[in-house]
Amino acid sequence: MNTEAPLADPAYRSGYIAIVGRPNVGKSTLLNRLVGQKISITSKKSQTTRHRIHGIFTDAHSQFVFVDTPGFQTRHKSRLNSGMNRLVTQTLRDVDVVILVIEAMHFDDRDKLVVKLLPKNKPVVLALNKIDRLPDKSQLLPFLEKTSKEFDFAALVPVSAENGGRLPELIAAIRPHLPQNPPLFQEDEVTDRDERFIAAELVREKLFRLLGEEIPYSTSVIIDQFVMEGELRRIHASIVVDKSGQKAIVIGKDGEKLKLIATQARKDMEESFGGKVYLKVWVKVKSGWAEDARTLKSLGYE
């Protein structure tokens, strides 16, 4: 990998950019679009993202290290959510630039709570997401003017994370605010997370997508085994639920639901990893895990 050209360029810029917002505004979808690969899982269920995930985009003159964060949670009070909220506030202290993602034509008290967390000493770019769903685009300008009064934003950019609309404009708005640095990662890297982590996240995504409100958001996934056998990845994963009734829901009648979760997760893994995957999934009951400090730490939440 040749990084001599960027390193020799005194105008080269690189830095960390936090992507923040309330749950379900499209933060993870935006991250995946910006880096051109699925590295952060998405679903309609709140709090799908739990960890800080770095997505890396590199061009000829700059490197953007985007940091996907959990949606700041105000409704559900638990040790798990407290840890995720701390992660959001810590991330805001550590980065160079912040992207606040809100949904087009929607700015409510939940968004205002996130605005209160925004640092006053760092540039914040407002990304107005889901503009592709607006039947009347003339509504955008008045809404942007109203929203701009909520905070001293460095820029306001309407985007569509779903179809990639106006993402080059978002990149252009961020670039001037990055510090002049050499690249922080290799040019071909797209995330700081390893395949073991991504495998667990892909199983969890299918769990939420296929079961929706039937299963609580606190459900988690542990990778018990990840072994390379030539070009084959042999992966054993455990879905951790809080109650035995939830285990029955995940397994489904004659095991059909669990089989579907595993099949769809395996296909996504093979696409992400570029090779064959053997995936075996079990379901385990661990009561009260979302409130247990030791379990949360072992799962990387605290």
Residue 24 marked as a ligand binder? yes
Question: Which residue, among 127, 88, 276, 274, has the nearest Cα to 190 in the 3D structure?
Answer: 274
Amino acid 290: pLDDT: 56
Question: Which residue, among 71, 89, 88, 72, has the nearest Cα to 28 in the 3D structure?
Answer: 71
- 3 state SS of 213: helix
How confident is the prediction for the chain on average, in pLDDT? 83
Residue 72 marked as a ligand binder? yes
Question: pLDDT class for 287, splitting at 50, 70, 90?
Answer: confident
Which residue type does 213 have? E
Residue 132 marked as a ligand binder? yes
Distance CA 36, CA 18 (A): 17
User: Cα 277 to chain center, whole Å?
Assistant: 23
Residue 129 marked as a ligand binder? yes
Of 51-55, 101-105, 282-286, minimum mean pLDDT range: 51-55
Question: pLDDT class for 282, splitting at 50, 70, 90?
Answer: very high
Q: Tokens 């542990």, residue?
A: 222
Question: Which residues are within 8 A (CB) of 69 and not within 5 positions of it... i.e. 6 or more apart?
Answer: 18, 19, 20, 27, 49, 52, 87, 88, 91
User: Cα 129 to chain center, whole Å?
Assistant: 15
For the stretch 166-223, pLDDT in tens is 999 999 999 999 999 999 998 888 888 888 988 998 998 888 888 877 775 567 888 9
For the stretch 115-155, pLDDT in tens is 988 989 999 999 999 999 988 888 899 999 999 999 999 99
Residue 70 marked as a ligand binder? yes
Residue 122 marked as a ligand binder? no
Whether the pLDDT of residue 264 is over 70: the answer is: yes
Residue 27 marked as a ligand binder? yes
pTM of the model: 0.72
Query: At the topology level of CATH, where does 13-177 sit?
Result: Rossmann fold (3.40.50)
Over residues 62-89, mean pLDDT: 64
Half-sphere exposure of 253 (CA within 13 A, CB side): 0
Q: Is the dihedral of CA 165, 170, 175, 176 positive or negative?
A: positive
Residue 239 marked as a ligand binder? no
Question: What CATH class has 195-299?
Answer: alpha beta
Q: What are the sequence ranges of the domains in the chain?
A: 13-177, 195-299
Over residues 292-299, mean pLDDT: 55
Residue 257 marked as a ligand binder? no
Whether the pLDDT of residue 79 is over 70: the answer is: no
